[in-house]
């Protein structure tokens, strides 16, 4: 039997998977995300148990304002879209477009964190801090852990922009951008569950 002939239309492996070692790091990053799911699952469980234990403090319904929450949701969903388009541009080899989409993602992420910090400060002004009740302890640690992830992601993306500027799209930088996009979309998924199970659930009463 002869070797299969080379198909002219055979699909090329994207650059981030082209090097075996770099590709292994993507699989490794998936393993990290899997463990991160466990962290958030624990925090969601804690919140599920304590979200009605308000002590003398405010209830979720009294505390949450949906305006800023909708804004945060919109910012994060859009940033997930922009980094998705960044990966699309990266696979076409368009380094400037990739950098522009990454930069836009950073701006949207910064807008998210700013809105969230503003929200937390306004809660603190109402003496609704994590000392107040079990509900607020669980709320602050869950939403705060997510916010800390997003903040870290912003700094990470800034370092990637410098690397893209210096090296362009290589097997190594492509893998780094790809793992960053996985991280960012993962945070978007976590936020969707925070939006649903914390904020919307709080309004169910």
Partner 1 sequence: MSESEQSITVDEAYEQDNDKSIKFLRPRFHAEAFPTVQIFGYVGSLVLTFAAYFLVMNHVLPVLALLIIILTLAALQAALQLGVFMHVQEGRGMAWQIIPLYLVFLIAFGMVGMSIWIMLFKSGVS
* 13 CB neighbour count, 10 Å cutoff: 10
Residue 105's nearest CA partner among 131, 85, 122, 91 is: 85
From candidates 100, 113, 161, 192, binder to partner 1 by CB under 8 A: 192
175: left (phi over 0), alpha (psi -120 to 50) or beta: alpha
From candidates 72, 80, 120, 157, binder to partner 1 by CB under 8 A: 80
Residue whose entry in the numeric block shows the structure tokens 């302890």: 137
Pattern 144-183, partner 1, x by CB under 8 A: ------------------------xxxx---------xx-
Three-class secondary structure assignment of 26-85: HHHHHHHHHHHHHHHHHHHHHHHHHCCCCCCCCCHHHHCCHHHHHHHHHHHHHHHHHHHH
**In the complex, minimum distance from the CB of residue 106 to partner 1, in angstroms, rounded to a whole number:** 17
What is the distance between the alpha carbons of residues 83 and 93, in angstroms, rounded to a whole number?
A: 15
**In the complex, minimum distance from the CB of residue 43 to partner 1, in angstroms, rounded to a whole number:** 10
Q: Does 45 bind partner 1 (CB under 8 A)?
A: yes
Contacts to partner 1 by CB under 8 A: 7, 10-15, 17-18, 20, 23, 26-27, 30-31, 34-35, 37-38, 40-42, 44-46, 48-49, 52, 66, 70, 73-74, 77-78, 80-81, 83-85, 87-88, 91, 93, 95, 168-171, 181-182, 185-186, 188-189, 192-193, 195-197, 200-201, 203-205
């Amino acid at each position: 039997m002869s070797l299969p002939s080379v198909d002219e239309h055979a699909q090329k492996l994207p650059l981030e998977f082209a090097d075996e070692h770099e590709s292994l790091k993507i699989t490794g990053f998936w393993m990290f995300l899997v463990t991160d799911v466990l962290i958030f699952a624990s925090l969601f469980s804690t919140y599920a148990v304590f979200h009605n234990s308000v002590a003398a403090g405010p209830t979720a319904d009294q505390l949450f304002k949906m305006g800023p929450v909708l804004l945060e949701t919109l910012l994060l969903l859009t940033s997930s879209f922009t980094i998705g388009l960044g990966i699309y541009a990266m696979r076409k080899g368009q380094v400037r477009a990739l950098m522009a989409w990454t930069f836009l993602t950073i701006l949207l992420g910064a807008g998210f964190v700013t809105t969230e910090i503003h929200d937390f400060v306004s809660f603190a002004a109402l003496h609704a801090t994590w000392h107040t009740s079990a509900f607020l302890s669980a709320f602050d640690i869950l939403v705060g852990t997510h916010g800390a992830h997003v903040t870290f992601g912003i700094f990470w993306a800034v370092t990637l922009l410098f690397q893209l500027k210096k090296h362009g799209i290589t097997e190594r930088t492509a893998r780094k951008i790809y793992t960053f996009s996985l991280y960012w979309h993962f945070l978007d998924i976590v936020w969707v569950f925070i939006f649903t199970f914390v904020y919307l659930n709080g309004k169910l009463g």
